[in-house]
Structure 1
Amino acid sequence: MKKLLLLSLFLIISSNLFAQSKSQLGIRLGANSARVLNSELDTKTGIYAGLFLAVRFTDSYTMQPEIAYSNQGGNASFRNGEDLNINYVSIGLANKFFVSKNQGFHFTLGPSLDINFDDNFINLINDNGDNLEITPIDIAVFGGIGYEFDFGLAMELRFKQGLIDLDFNDSGEYGGNSEENQLNRVIQIGLAYKFNM
C-alpha cells in the first residue's frame, strides 16, 4: 500500500512539473576533435549530429535528453596507417544552467552512454588466443559552455571524457602501454537549434 501511495505521489508531482515546463525539440550539429588517450594516435576530426528535447523547468535550468551520432577515434599519421574510426550512437542527458533569467549564456553538465555500432578496427587474436575488439560501449561525462539566442539558435563548446577502456592495447596496433587505459576524449564545437512548437 505504501509503495502504491509513493508511486502515485511521484507521478502526480512529475506530471505537474512537466505540465509547468516548456518543451522544445531541437537539433545539434558540429565538429569533433577526438583522440584516444595512451595510444600513439593523433587527434582526429569528425562530426556529430543529433536530436534533443529541451525541457525548461525554471528560468535558470533546462533538462535536455539527447541522441546523436558521433564519429570518434584517432589519426594514425605516425606510421601512415589507417585512421581509427569509431562510430557511436550517443545517448546523453544534458543539464543546462543559465546564468541569467534570459536564455543567453549557460553551463552544461551531464553523462552519456555511447554505443559503438561500427568501427574499422581489424579484429586480431593475441598470444593467449583471445579475440581483440574495441569495447562495444563507453560511459562518458561531459561539460561545456554555450550561448543561446532568443530565436532558438545556440553556440556550444563541450568537453567529453570517456570512462571505459577501449581495450585494444594488447594488439600493438596503435601503440600504448597495456597497463594504461585507452580512453576516448572529445572536444565538440557546434550549433544547436530549438524549434518553436
Structure 2
Amino acid sequence: MKKSITFLFLFACTFPYFLGAQVAPGIKMGYNESTISKTRLEPKSGLYIGGFLDIPITKLYTIQPEVFYSSQGGTSVSLDYGDVQIDYLSIMGANKFYVGPNKGFHFNLGLGLDVNLKNNLVNLSNGNGDGEISPFDVVVFGGIGYEFKFGLTLEARYKQGTVSVDFFGADDLYEEAGSNLNGVLQVGAAYKFKTK
C-alpha cells in the first residue's frame, strides 16, 4: 500500500512537467552494415528507416522512443543459399546524453526489440520460406551523434543482438559452434520537427 501511494505521489509530481515538455516527432534513415557471428556469411549492406519521439527530461538528457524498419542479414560468397535477408521491425528506447546544455554532441545508449517480419532462408526440413529464423531479437546499442539547431542530427551507433539467429536445418551456414548473433553498424541522419 505504501509503495502504491509513493508511486502515485511521484507520478502526480512529475506528470505536469511531462505535459510541459517540448515533445517533438521526427524521422530517421540510414545505412546498415550487418553481420551474423560464427557463420560463413560475410557482412551485408542494408538500410533502416522510421520515426521517433524526442522527449526532453533535462537540458542534458532526452528519452527517444523509436520504431523503424531495419534490413539485415549476411552475404553468401560460396554457399548455395545465396544472401540471407532478414527484415526486422525495430522498437527501440534510446537514452541521449548531451555533452553541454546547448545540445549538439551527444552519446546514446539503449535497449530494443527486433521483430522478424520476413526472411528469405528456406527451412530445409519443411520447405517453408518463413519461420525458420528466430522470430525476435533483444538488442543493446550505443553510439554518438551531433544535433544541429535546425533539427538535423547525424549519428552512428552499433546494435548488438543477444538472441541467437537459428538457421534450422542449414548446418553448412555455421562456421563454429555457439550463438549466432546479429551485429549491426548503423550510420545515418535524423530530422526532428519543431512543435512550436
- TM-score, normalization: structure 2? 0.91
Tell me what 2:154 maps to.
155
Tell me what 1:194 maps to.
192
Task: Write out aligned runs for 1:10-159 (5 A).
Answer: 10-79=10-79, 81-125=81-125, 133-159=132-158
The 3-state SS of whatever aligns with 2:19 is helix
Deviation at 1:53, TM superposition (A): 0.2
Structure 2 unmatched ranges of 5 or more: none
Q: Distance in 1 between matches of 2:160 and 2:188?
A: 17
Q: Distance in 2 between matches of 1:173 and 1:156?
A: 36
Q: Distance in 2 between matches of 1:174 and 1:78?
A: 10
Deviation at 1:82, TM superposition (A): 1.4
The 3-state SS of whatever aligns with 2:13 is helix
The 3-state SS of whatever aligns with 2:72 is strand
Deviation at 1:33, TM superposition (A): 0.4
Task: Give the conservation status (yes or no) of the 8 Å contact 1:112–1:140.
Answer: yes
The 3-state SS of whatever aligns with 2:11 is helix
Q: Distance in 2 between matches of 1:105 and 1:80?
A: 45
Task: Give the conservation status (yes or no) of the 8 Å contact 1:105–1:145.
Answer: yes
Deviation at 1:79, TM superposition (A): 3.2
Deviation at 1:172, TM superposition (A): 1.6
Amino acid corresponding to residue 114 of structure 1 in structure 2: D
Task: Give the conservation status (yes or no) of the 8 Å contact 2:112–2:138.
Answer: yes
Deviation at 1:85, TM superposition (A): 0.4
Task: Give the conservation status (yes or no) of the 8 Å contact 2:31–2:186.
Answer: yes
Deviation at 1:103, TM superposition (A): 1.3
Q: Distance in 1 between matches of 2:90 and 2:47?
A: 12
The 3-state SS of whatever aligns with 2:88 is strand
Per-residue deviation, residues 45-64 of structure 1 (Å, max 9, x unmatched): 00000100000111100100
Residue 184 (1) aligns with residue 149 (2): no
Q: Distance in 1 between matches of 2:134 and 2:171?
A: 16
The 3-state SS of whatever aligns with 2:180 is coil
Amino acid corresponding to residue 115 of structure 1 in structure 2: V
Structure 1 unmatched ranges of 5 or more: none
Amino acid corresponding to residue 104 of structure 2 in structure 1: G
Q: Distance in 1 between matches of 2:84 and 2:25?
A: 33
The 3-state SS of whatever aligns with 1:17 is helix
Query: Which consecutive aligned stretches of 4+ in structure 1 deviate over 3 angstroms post-superposition?
Result: 1-4
Task: Write out aligned runs for 1:154-173 (5 A).
Answer: 154-168=153-167, 171-173=170-172
The 3-state SS of whatever aligns with 1:5 is helix
Q: Distance in 1 between matches of 2:31 and 2:101?
A: 29
Amino acid corresponding to residue 194 of structure 2 in structure 1: N
Q: Distance in 2 between matches of 1:45 and 1:172?
A: 24
- TM-score, normalization: structure 1? 0.91
Q: Distance in 2 between matches of 1:20 and 1:133?
A: 47
Quote the sequence identity (%).
43
